[in-house]
Structure formats: C-alpha cells, structure tokens
Chains A and B, each alone.
Chain A
Amino acid sequence: MRLWMLLAVLSVTAYVSLAEITKNKNRGRGSMWWGIAKADEPNNFLPVSPTSMLDSSVYGNLRRKQKKLIRDNPGVLQAISRGANQAVAECQYQFRNRRWNCSTKNFLRGKNLFGKIVDKGCRETAFIYAITSAAVTHSIARACSEGSIQSCSCDYTHQSRTSSAVRDWEWGGCSDNIGYGFTFSRDFVDTGERGRNLREKMNLHNNEAGRTGVVSVLLQHVSSEMRQECKCHGMSGSCTVKTCWMRLPSFRVVGDNLKDRFDGASRVMVSNSDRVRSNANLANSVHQHRDGLSRRQRYNLQLKPYNPEHKPPGPKDLVYLEQSPAFCEKNPKLGILGTHGRQCNETSLGVDGCDLMCCGRGYKTQEMVVIERCACIFHWCCEVKCQKCRTTKTVHTCL
C-alpha cells in the first residue's frame, strides 16, 4: 500500500517536471549554469551575498545537484567559472570572423549567457554546448593537478607509460586528472539534460562530444612525444644526457578541434524506434522519469541523420536539429544582433569579407583612431608593461 502511495507521489512529481520541460522545451535546462562565467566579476547592480562569491541570481539558477556538487567540492566553483570564461573567450575567438560572433551581450541576470539563439537547435548552439562542456572538463582536470580542488589530486597513472620513441625518459611529474574532469563534467554539466526529447538528446550528445575532444587532446599531450620537448646536454653539443619536459597544450587546440567539428556537424532527426522506446519507457518505469535515461542509454544515443544517405554521427561529431538563421538582420526573438555595424575585411572572399558579412547591404569606410598596446617591455621579474599608442586605422563597417 505504501509502495503504491510512493509511486503515486513519484508519478505526480514526474508529471510536474514533465510539464516544466514542455514549458522550457526549446532549450532544456542544462544551460543555466553558464551564468557562472560572470560569477567572479565585480557587479554593482546586484546584491552579492557575503558568504558566496556567486550572486544569488546565478546561484539560484543552478540545479539542486549542481549546488550540492559545488558545496561538496570546495574549489570547484572557481574552476568551473574559469572554464566557462575560457569557453566564452574561445568561442568568440573561433567565431570572430563570422556573422554570428558568439556575443554575450544579451546576458541577462544569469540566464542564457549566449542569448536566445540557444533556443534554436542549430549548429551554433551545438558548438556552444560542446565548448562549454569541454572547457569545464579541461579546467577541472587542470585544477586537480594544481591542487586547488580538495577532492581530487594529480593523476599519476601516466608515469609508467613510455612510448618507444622516448626510450629512457619517463614523465615524472603530475598530470592533469583527465578522468576526474570527465566524470565531474558529466555530473555537473549534464544534470539539466535528461535526454527525453530530441533537443535534450542533442545537448547531451554535444556535451559528450566536447568532453571527448578534450580527453583526446589531453591524452595525446600526455602520452605521445608531440607535446614533449627535449634538449641534449653534453660536452660541445653532444647528446650524453637528454632531459625532457612538457609544453603546455592550450585550450586553443580543443577550440580548433571543435571548430572543425562545427564545420562538419551533422543534422539529425528523431528515429522512429527511439520514439517508440521512449514511449515505452514512459509507460513502464516510473523511476526512469525521475532521472531521464539511465547512464548507459544517455551516452549511447542513436541519432538518425536527417539525410538518410549520410552516416550516423559518431561520438565526436556535433549534431544539430535545424538550419541556422541567416544572422543578417536583428532579431530580438532569437537574440540575434545582426551584422549592422560589424567590421568586415574588404579584400577577403570568406565569411569575414564585406560582401558576405554585410549580407549585400553594403558597407561604409572610415578612419578610426584605435588605442593599441605598443612598445611592450619586459620588466624583471615578471611582467610586461606596454604603452598605449593611438593609431589611425581604416575600418570597414557594415551598414
């Protein structure tokens, strides 16, 4: 009898959360945490609670599990915040020459950092999900090896791994804790996504693709000699003793990687079998309503290509559901700023060229005074001081 009562309660909550999802259907709930990117900025407009560095609006938007993760792992918040900022910077770098330039100017009180474009399941959204998830993995893995998170430490498992090319040298230091970063990112980033509708599946898939990209880059960095540098020491330039060290791989590698995936992203649609299965799930198990798909199902998504002649997307590929808008005109509904007033390159034939960037509207050319850093001098030790120079530049801007 009690069991039945419990089930009834559960099914009611499940129904409620289902309603919540349909309300928020276009997006999924997994994007709220992005607001953490703004967490460490001094903010005069909103009251900052003295105990936490997060302002309440951002913190309030986190899910319960995410709050618990932050509370249980001191130091993790800073890492996530660093990761989120890294993701924003990298996204803006990768898209600096495109019509959509990953602007965060639509940021509103902790909600939808990248604007309403996220409501559409297009390529750009896929990239945002992948890069944010990748950045969290990366920065958590690094924070572990730096010792700034209490619940994890260095990864020593790579120590014994030697490739045949480096016979007598072993990596003796502390490696980034890739495993922890990966699991944590899954727990934290994917909390909001239950994988029940297609949009949530898309988000899950892209999150996972971002993480996989990071892991392959980091693993490559640890185990192959690509990122390893060595130097010979010996009398008059001979090679009696060889010492090796690591060159830090930057997040740029991950960004480039994901940008390539963005260009080759595959459009997917709901497969029939999938729809049947999720209906069956709905009918059969109440428990699964709560958690969405079980972990194995969650990351084993069978997404069908939109064009049946294409291959189904692999685990590293980005997927999207609908065509991207043109991004030419301002569209407040989608949070698109349009390309009015954007700079363009007069000579380029690519997307950054004035023809494509301005969508054929034409452009104006003007002389502008730009303040640049110049005459940078290295001061011992260790900072670079620059002067500010005013230079005149010819700037083309879209009408």
Chain B
Amino acid sequence: MEDIDATVFYSDEDDCLDYGCLHNNVEYDYDYADTEKETLYELYQYCLNPSLYDTGYKLLPLLGCTILFRLFVHIQYISYKIFHILSVIIGLYIIHHYVHESLIVLIVYVLFSYAILYVPKKLHGGIGIFLPSLLIIAYCEFFMQSVIWHKIRSVVMIMVMKGISVAIDRNDLNNLPDIYSYMGYMFCGVTCLFGPWVSFKDYLLLRCSSNIQAKWWIICGMGYAFLSFVFLSISNCWMHWIFVDSFWKWLIAYRDALSFRASHYFVSYIGSALLILGGFPLSSSMIVKPLYIEFPHSLVQVVIYWNIPMHYWLKTYIFRPSMKNIGTFGAVIFTYLISSLLHGLNFQLAAVLLSLGFYTYIEFQLRAMLADTFDACIASKQCAKRKCIHKHNSSNCWWVFITNLAFSGLAMFHLAYLGLMFNTSDLQETGYNYSHTIDKWNELGFASHWVALATYCIYFLMK
C-alpha cells in the first residue's frame, strides 16, 4: 500500500515514460497477494473466540453430569443398586442430549447383549458374544442415514467395546454381573460420549476406592481440559492460519493431518478430564501422548499411544487370544480388521487402519532384524533406560541416533499421508467415501505405499 504514490505528487503534465514509473507498476503486482492474510485479531474474532466459546458452552451439560456422577460416587448413603440406577439415568440423559438418535439402538443393544451372557457357551461356541455387536454395527451401517451413523459411531463403538470385554471376561471367570451394575457400566455417563473404554473392574472399583488422589484431582482435571482446548484451537484455527492454502502440497498434507491429530488430542484430553472429574483414578486417565505421536520413535509407538485404553483392549481381547490360533502376522492383520470393523464399515478408515497394520508389521520386522544384526537400540520398541540389552545405543553411538531419527522422519511422513484426508470437506459429516480417499492419495501419487513397499523389499532382501 505504501508504494502507491508515496514519493511525489505528480502534476498533470508529469511524464510517465521513464523507468521509475514502469518500475512502480511492476511492484504493484506483488502487493495484491499480501492483502488476504487474516490478522491475529481477526483470527481471534472469527475463529478462536467462536469455536472455543461455542465448544465450551456445548460441553457444559456433560461437565455438570460428570460432577454429579462424582457426587454419587462419594455419597456412601446411596446403596449399590441406587448408584447404578443413577449412573444409568445420567448416561441416558447425556446420550439423549448429545446423540439422541442412538438412544433406542443402544438400549436394545445393551439388553440383547446382556441376554446373550446367559446363553451357555456350548450353544454358540464362543462366537455368540460378538453377535450383538456385529448386528448393531451392521444395522447402523445399512439402515441408518450416513450423517447420523457418522455422528453416533464413536458412542456405539465405546458401547460395543464394553460389551465385548464383559462377555470375554465372563467366559474366563464364569460369574455373571447383575443387571444393575451391567447397565450402570454400559451407560456410565462419564465415558459413553467421548470414551475412553474403561474396564468393568475399574468401574466397580470406583465405589471402593479410598481416594488418595483427592487433593490433586481438580487441578489435573482442569489441566487436561485446558490442554484439550489448546488442541481444539490448533485444530480449528492455528493450522489454517500458519499454513496457507497456497503452500507446497506435502506441507498442506502435513497440515491437514496435523489438524486431524489435534482434533483427536482434543477429544482424548476431554475424555481424560472427564475421567478424573468423574472420580476415576489418575493412573487410568492417560489416553493419549501427543509428544510420542508428533515426534514418533516408530509407527508402532504411534499406534500404542494414539489411544492407550483402546490399544490395551485390542491387545487383551483380540490380539492375544487370536495369536494362539493364527500366528503373529495373522493376529496383527486380524486385530486391525476388528479395529476397522469397530469403526464401521468405512472404506477410508479401513484403508488407513489396514495400511497402518502393514506398515507397522514391516517396520517392526525390519527394525527388529536390524537391531539384532547390528546389536543396536534401533528396534521399534524403545529400549528401557537402564537395561538395554544391546551394545550400541543412542547415547554412545551417533549412527544409532541417526538411524532412529530417520525412522522417525519416515513415520511422520507416513502419518501426514495417512491423516490428510480427514479434512474439513463436506464429507466430514457423512463419512468419507471410496473416491475421496483414492483422490487424496492419488494427488500425492500413493507415495507412502510405494515407500512401504520399498521398505518391505529391503527387509525381504536382507532376510
């Protein structure tokens, strides 16, 4: 702007044939591009303020219900039965308030899955415990509007995970939970909306715990809530403000993927905050570790720390039982299959999860082999500090450090590639379809899949 006629006032007779005049015209062309960027104030006014205020306002009922739940946990006069009934009421209210479309489906599912618990194992041969879960997911996938299904998917997923975990635990222990505690667990208001999955045992222990953490819970809870809002602002506003659309395509891919991850951190930290405020112990409240994901040691680490309770669930109830029957590779793929089934029969999620399954398997094998060959700490799992069994580690050997750094870079590249399609397009409400996924990957030339294939070839040749 300052260039417009900054120097002198030209008179009418002034000649404009000289170099300076021409030069001015050249410079104008580059000035226009600058006018578009939002100022910090505008960012605050149009993005930060509305999204934070709006989200906070929306989450208030959930927060209130969680505090109420905590009160019920602590009041000793409330009997066992009444407590679970109250828990169900709170849960039903929250589900009705936030995702009322799923209310009927969930009630039917809970009753049905409880009935299945009573059927002896001989009659269904162990598969039956998965039956209600499969049915509810199939019903939602095929008979529900895609917008609604996409909205309630996470709620159904949490519920299904809880149902399956109770059913499998019961198979081992052979003692049936009573209907009150079962319903209370399934509809527990603290976890039904944003998760995470908590075990039935943890839920029952709520009332027995002597609350040693009583002093710090409120600070921790507030801290988690604050962090979650920081991540919300990153996801909604900062990313799009820092990386403008005109940047290089891989930077845009990284931005979209990071924006998606920040959204996941937001949800996870909200879940953590609610767990603590709802009276769950601090030790079980950790859901996600953003630093381990943003600067990953390996893809395996990303998968573990993406959702710690879910990882635990998959490991305990799916991976370990199936490993006995179908071997490690089969178990890995089966676990990722179950995981994508839990996420609904969505092509994009299935593609991402299965890709992740193959990637982690390749990476794990390659790095394990390299670690063995060179006797160095470059396996997928980080060596424990004191008892590293390898001779070389990052602190005494520079090439170990470099190798680990390279693998980190590779993991970040894969993450940008896998996460970029969860963007703010119109499809985010209905779920992303087949062509969206392929289009997005095609833009980047399926680079990450080729890289993974190359990695596998290296592994195959070295084997």
Contact = CB atoms under 8 A, between A and B. Distances in A.
B35 A231 contact: no
A322 B260 CA distance: 57
B142 interface: no
Contacts of A244: 50-51, 54
A240 B102 CA distance: 12
A236 interface: yes
Interface string B30-68: 111001101011100111111101110111000000000
Interface residues of B, number: 74
Determine the main DSSP class of B at the interface with A. helix
Interface string B113-151: 000000000000000000000000000000000010011
A241 interface: yes
Interface string A83-106: 001001100110010000100111
A171 B1 contact: no
Given A234-B153, A337-B16, A173 B237 contact: no
Contact of B153 (A104, A107, A230, A238): A238
Contacts of A116: 12
A233 B266 contact: yes
A334 B46 CA distance: 44
B4 A104 contact: yes
A109 B9 contact: yes
Contacts of B279: none
Nearest to A173: B50
Contacts of A173: 45-46, 49-50, 53
A118 B260 CA distance: 53
Interface stretch (B19-27, B219-227, B401-409, B443-451): B19-27
A243 B16 contact: no
B14 interface: yes
A359 to B, nearest CB: 15
B301 to A, nearest CB: 18
Contacts of A230: 424, 428
A300 B307 CA distance: 65
Given A96-B29, A237-B422, A238-B150, A332 B46 contact: no
A259 to B, nearest CB: 14
B28 A235 contact: no
B285 interface: no
Given A89-B1, A235-B195, A373 B10 contact: no
A107 B12 CA distance: 9
Given A93-B32, A108-B9, A243-B232, 11 more contacts: A45-B9, A89-B1, A105-B10, A172-B50, A172-B53, A235-B195, A240-B267, A244-B50, A341-B17, A342-B25, A373-B30
Interface of B: 1-2, 4-6, 9-14, 16-18, 21-22, 25-26, 28-32, 35-36, 38, 40-42, 45-51, 53-55, 57-59, 98-99, 147, 150-155, 157-158, 193-195, 232, 235-237, 242, 259-260, 263-264, 266-267, 307, 343, 349, 422, 424, 428-429
